[in-house]
Chains A and B, each alone.
Chain A
Amino acid sequence: MGKTVLIVDDSNTMRKIVSRSLRQAGIDFDEILEAGDGQEALDVLAANSVDVVLSDINMPNMTGLEFLKAKSEDDAIKDIPVIMISTETGADIIDEAKSYGAKGAIKKPFTPDLINETLGPLL
């Protein structure tokens, strides 16, 4: 059975760039799902089988940190690994993200190699 990734970012442009970078990194997913904020991401996870999530932090409606916290409180989805992709990669924010279960962080701007290095071990 193929793997599925969920890309969460309020920017359509950034979702496309992350998707392209996955291909450039040689990471092939059978399905790439998208969500525009944390609440949409929770809805997608409730309705689909997802192997890994790549999420922005600074989003309207529900931020990446709020999404992580809500996800960590739902037994059905709490174990799905999440990597944060954001301009917000200060130690305090990343520590908070990891306290809610995030497995790592990638700073924008990023290269396909960095995506591969961070995401590869989770797949």
Chain B
Amino acid sequence: MEFPKKIVETTEEIFSTMIFMDVSADAPLNQGKQDLGCHVSAMIGLTGGFSAMLGIHCPETVGLAISGAMLGMEIEEIDADVKDALGEIANMVAGGLKERFATENIDLELAIPTAISGKSYTIASPTKSNRIIIPFSIEQGPFFIEMKYNLN
């Protein structure tokens, strides 16, 4: 199903067309990696051909840089605008996956994104899921796109 390839393609498209930041993808992390050192996350659910939770996780400086670029202004702290901006990225990445999987006759529906922030938090899935974490880098540092999924 080429999850990593589809995630990288759609993320790069979003950053080049709407955020105007150079972004590069690195090799997916091992599934055992848990602590990503991030301070703000946005997640969105996908259902249909498979069930999934897609998330974007950012350290504070990276979240501020990305949301500032999207809004065209300097942002100094994690606030509602930062969470809203990252929620939109999660929404667009999920939308890109939906479009790409539709070409393989796999239909997906998207939920509405949610976001959280804090100095230390853990996101847990209630069921045993497959997990992909792809690190990306911008000038200000790394961020991560995570996908937990269960094939139906």
Give the B-binding residues of A (Cβ under 8 A).
Answer: 10-14, 16-17, 20, 58-60, 86-90, 107-111
Contact A109 B13 (CB under 8 A): yes
Interface of B is mostly: helix
Contact A109 B92 (CB under 8 A): yes
State A81–B78 Cα separation when bound (angstroms).
37
A-B contacts, CB under 8 A, total: 59
Confirm or deny: B62 has a beta carbon within 8 angstroms of a beta carbon on chain A: no
Nearest chain B CB to A93's CB is how many angstroms away?
10
Q: Given that A11-B84, A11-B87, A13-B88 are contacting pairs, would A87 and B95 also be in contact in the complex, using a CB cutoff of 8 Å?
A: yes
Which of B84, B98, B102 contacts A12 (CB under 8 A)? B84
* Segment at the A interface, from B24-32, B64-72, B133-141, B144-152: B64-72
Which range holds the interface residue count of chain B? 20 to 34
Residue of A nearest to B67 (CB): A13
Contact B95 A13 (CB under 8 A): no
State A21–B88 Cα separation when bound (angstroms).
16
Confirm or deny: B85 has a beta carbon within 8 angstroms of a beta carbon on chain A: yes
Apart from A58-B91, A88-B95, what 6 extra A-B contacts exist at CB < 8 Å?
A13-B85, A58-B110, A87-B96, A87-B98, A108-B18, A108-B92
Residues on the A chain within 8 Å of B18, using CB? 17, 108-110
Contact A87 B85 (CB under 8 A): no
State A16–B110 Cα separation when bound (angstroms).
22
Contact B71 A110 (CB under 8 A): no
Nearest chain A CB to B62's CB is how many angstroms away?
16
A-B contact pairs, 24 of them (CB 8 A): A11-B84, A11-B85, A12-B81, A13-B85, A14-B88, A16-B70, A16-B72, A17-B70, A17-B71, A58-B112, A59-B112, A87-B95, A88-B95, A88-B110, A90-B99, A90-B102, A107-B95, A107-B99, A108-B91, A108-B95, A109-B14, A109-B92, A110-B17, A110-B18
